[in-house]
């Protein structure tokens, strides 16, 4: 069993420091990789929309092999799982491999409060090499009136050693409805129903075997479209409460397609995020991400990472900032695209703060 131990000091609140240790363990006998961060303290009265992020932690992967999914949990000092609402986001970035759709570092693991555990079939795995540089980031929230101390962030991943046989390479990729390099890819969800979208191309073709998504409150759905034929390839609906808050986002494994959903190299595709904001004010910090497991046609054609590329460096500088992840304590906002603004004008609610029935009617619609 391989084990790495890192210790760093991070500022967790105004003027207060907490020692934070990071353990990385690879247990081939149990076929599991485990990364833990702690002890962590989360002040009381830290709402989800005003969460705080910690400075990211860099570590090296200890041995070559394959990861086959992940589970992200926050546990208390007794090992009990804490409410999911306390995890704003957590992720691991592989600094030594490029994303497919963007010239930035690969997001190996990315999870929010609505992210369910991901488990790949036994024949699939994402390769990792000994010595690859990883960057772990996370942000926590605690809307209760009771502070939490001695907590641990725990990321567990099914793991196979390098000498495992019959594993087929799959890669994590994502598509952003509002991609911004060097800042949080957030936008304002204007009042009413609106769409925000962006196009992308892939330098390597292949098949999607899993597709999930990430939306913030008032999100309705995510769509993957063929921008050339205008055909909807996949649609993921949000699981919403009556007030528009998000419980989760639908996932699909393309079970009706033998090889998954085909995406061709150099063809234009589009990711669309749909929001329905029943209030009279723009909802700050909206996001729209599709996350996928991708089987490339030829891994040898995967573009090499260029750490001198300006986009890569801007993205890394932002990740290294204490606002890493999806924006930190104060989301960095970008102006929404004109399509979203224009489509919202026609469907914006007739606002009257004194009549809550308008909000309920908008949600029912």
Same domain, 262 and 238: yes
Residue 335 has pLDDT above 50, yes or no: no
Asked if residue 310 is part of any domain, the answer here is no
Q: How far apart are CA 109 and CA 355, in angstroms?
A: 43
Backbone torsion region of residue 345, taken as left when φ is above 0, otherwise alpha when ψ lies between -120 and 50, otherwise beta = alpha
Q: What is the pLDDT of residue 125?
A: 95
CATH of the domain at 286: 2.60.120
Both 147 and 51 in a single domain?
yes
Tell which of 168, 191, 219 closes a domain: 168
The model's pLDDT over 101-151, given as tens digits with 9 standing for 90+, comes to 999 999 999 887 778 888 887 789 999 999 999 999 998 989 889 999 999
How would you label 294-320 residue by residue, b for 16+ Cβ within 10 Å and e otherwise? bbbeeeeebeebeeeeeebeebbebbe
Let me know whether 184 and 116 are in one domain.
no
261 and 134 part of one domain = no
Residue 53: pLDDT band with limits 50, 70, 90 = low
- Given 168, 187, 202, the domain boundary residue is 168
Q: Is residue 347 assigned to a domain? A: yes
What confidence score (pLDDT) does residue 353 get? 41
**33 within a domain of the structure (yes/no):** yes
User: Tokens 């609610």 — which residue?
Assistant: 349
Query: Would 316 be classed as within a structural domain?
Result: no
Phi/psi for 43 (5° steps) reads: -60, 150
Structural domain contains residue 96: yes
Tokens of 41: 């303290």
Assess whether 220 and 248 both reside in one domain.
yes
Residue 101 and residue 40 in one domain = yes
Same domain, yes or no: 255 and 292: yes
pLDDT score of 350: 60
* 205-239 pLDDT per residue, tens: 999 999 999 999 999 999 999 999 999 999 999 99
Q: Does residue 321 fall inside a structural domain? A: no
309 within a domain of the structure (yes/no): no
Range from 154-158, 183-187, 290-294, 327-331 carrying the lowest mean pLDDT: 327-331
Question: What is the domain range of residue 346?
Answer: 170-298+335-364
d(CA 209, CA 106): 18
Domain boundary among 168, 187, 221: 168
Residues 174 and 144 in one domain: no
Q: Could you tell me the pTM of the whole model?
A: 0.80
Q: What is the mean pLDDT of the chain?
A: 83
Residue 326 covered by a domain: no
Together in a domain, 255 and 238: yes
Residue position matching structure tokens 């996928």: 292
**Confidence at residue 328, expressed as pLDDT on a 0 to 100 scale:** 37
Same-domain pairing of 145 and 212: no
> What is the per-residue pLDDT for 47?
73
Residue 11 has pLDDT above 60, yes or no: no
Tell me, what's the pLDDT at 188? 95
Count of domains for the chain: 2
Same domain? 23 vs 128? yes
- 224 in the same domain as 164: no
């Amino acid at each position: 069993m391989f084990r790495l131990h890192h210790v760093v000091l991070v500022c967790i609140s105004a003027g207060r420091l907490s020692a934070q240790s990071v353990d990385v363990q690879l247990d081939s006998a149990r076929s599991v990789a485990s990364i833990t961060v702690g002890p962590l303290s989360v002040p009381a009265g830290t709402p989800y929309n005003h969460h705080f992020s910690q400075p990211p932690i860099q570590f090296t992967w200890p041995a070559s092999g394959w990861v086959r999914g992940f589970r992200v949990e926050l546990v208390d000092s007794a090992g009990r799982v804490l409410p999911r609402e306390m995890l704003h986001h957590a992720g691991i970035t592989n600094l030594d491999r490029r994303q497919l759709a963007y010239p930035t570092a690969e997001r190996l693991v990315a999870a929010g409060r609505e992210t369910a555990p991901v488990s790949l079939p036994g024949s699939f795995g994402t390769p990792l090499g000994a010595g690859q540089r990883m960057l772990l980031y996370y942000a926590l929230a605690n809307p209760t009136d009771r502070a939490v101390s001695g907590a641990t962030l725990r990321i567990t991943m099914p793991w196979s050693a390098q000498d495992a046989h019959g594993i087929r390479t799959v890669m994590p990729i994502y598509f952003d409805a509002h991609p911004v390099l060097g800042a949080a890819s957030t936008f304002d969800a204007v009042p009413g129903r609106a769409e925000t979208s962006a196009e992308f191309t892939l330098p390597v073709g292949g098949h999607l075997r899993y597709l999930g998504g990430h939306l913030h409150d008032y999100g309705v759905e995510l769509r993957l479209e063929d921008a050339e034929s205008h055909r909807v390839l996949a649609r993921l609906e949000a699981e919403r409460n009556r007030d528009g808050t998000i419980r989760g986002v639908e996932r699909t494994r393309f079970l009706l397609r033998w090889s998954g959903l085909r995406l061709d190299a150099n063809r234009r595709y589009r990711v669309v995020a749909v929001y329905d904001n029943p209030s009279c004010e723009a909802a700050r910090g909206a996001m729209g991400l599709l996350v996928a497991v991708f089987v490339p046609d030829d891994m040898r054609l995967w573009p090499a990472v260029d750490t001198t590329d300006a986009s890569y460096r801007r993205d890394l500088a932002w990740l290294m900032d204490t606002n890493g992840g999806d924006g930190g304590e104060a989301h960095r906002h970008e102006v929404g695209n004109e399509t979203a603004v224009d489509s919202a004008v026609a469907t914006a609610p007739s606002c009257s703060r004194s009549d809550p029935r308008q909000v309920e009617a908008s949600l029912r619609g």
